[in-house]
Amino acid sequence: MTGPSRWSSPASLIRLEGPDARRFLHGQSSQSIELAPPGSCLATCLISPTGRMRALALVQVDGSGVDLVVIAGDGAAVHQSLDRVLFPADQVQLGPVEAITLVRMLGATEAAGEASTLRPPVDLGGGRDQPVLLLRQSDSLPSWAEALPELSGEQAERQRLRAGFPAAPGELNDSTNPFELGLADWVSLSKGCYVGQETLAKLATYDGVKQQLRHWRAGRTGPAAADALSPGTPLTTAAGERAGVITSTLAGPDGVEGLALVRRQTLAEAQLLAGDGAAAVPLELRVPSGFVAPPVGDGGSSGPRGG
């Protein structure tokens, strides 16, 4: 589809109310939240103590607390983990999980000035400058958004794959970290202590990222090709070296495409093989458009974004 459009996906909203809400969430996620002024919209990763991915979220700051919007991952599991570490001394009231809808825009920069839109400083799959909407169950789309054509499920998934926006369980799971998934700008390396900080600081300082997310495409079409390229299919080089694994797959009229985690030693390969032996399928690889390279050296900078 060409021209401005939109697509929707389910999300979960968790309200944290009280004077300690920003401080508490600051210590439980990867973004610098404690000193963020009211009106801020921040993007953050919720990670394990070992830096493994649990969820992606937006944080809306206001005068009395924050709205934590889980846009990828299990909102109920996030709520449970926050509740588990919330102490009686914390001046925070943790609200229930509320099902909402995230509406992404594509090519709709004229809507960026609308008061109802959010402007997170990251790429959510439609480009860095694209506004998004959050709709509660009783809300309806504003007229300007309603006028935009909506992507089909297949079109929205294709957009996600080409942008490299991670999803559970293929990319968001207990074996990946934010830098592998191109989420360097979802992580603050200068904030104070938080869950998973030590692991991410070591990865940044010592250039320790061992794999990175890549978009792949195969010329084959049809159900058989999609089955042969399903998530979990191993990748190898032409020389037979282990190269990575497919994490997401989409079959379309122009062929099969998806995402894969590719080992650092084989990132320079323009083509890898999926599967084994004579049945192996050649895949063309590229950096997803929304991928931000991992930080290098002292953790103070990151490389160029994808294209």
Residues 181-209 have pLDDT tens digits of: 999 999 998 887 888 888 899 888 888 89
Residue 226: its pLDDT value, please?
81
Residue 298: its pLDDT value, please?
46
Q: What is the rounded average pLDDT of the residues 208-231?
A: 88
As a dihedral over the C-alpha atoms of residue 119, residue 123, residue 125, residue 130, rounded to 10 degrees, the angle is 40
Q: What percentage of the chain exceeds 70 in pLDDT?
A: 93
User: The tokens 């894969």 sit on which residue?
Assistant: 260
pLDDT grade, residue 173 (50/70/90)? very high
In the chain the domains, ranked by start, together with CATH numbers, are 5-153 (3.30.1360.120)
pLDDT grade, residue 114 (50/70/90)? low
Kind of pairing, strands 242-252 and 5-17? unpaired
Distance, in Å, from the CA atom of 304 to the CA atom of 292, rounded to the nearest integer, reads: 6
What does pTM read for this prediction?
0.91
Whether the per-residue pLDDT at 301 is higher than 60: the answer is no
Among the listed residues 261, 192, 247, 194, the one whose alpha carbon sits nearest the alpha carbon of residue 46: 194
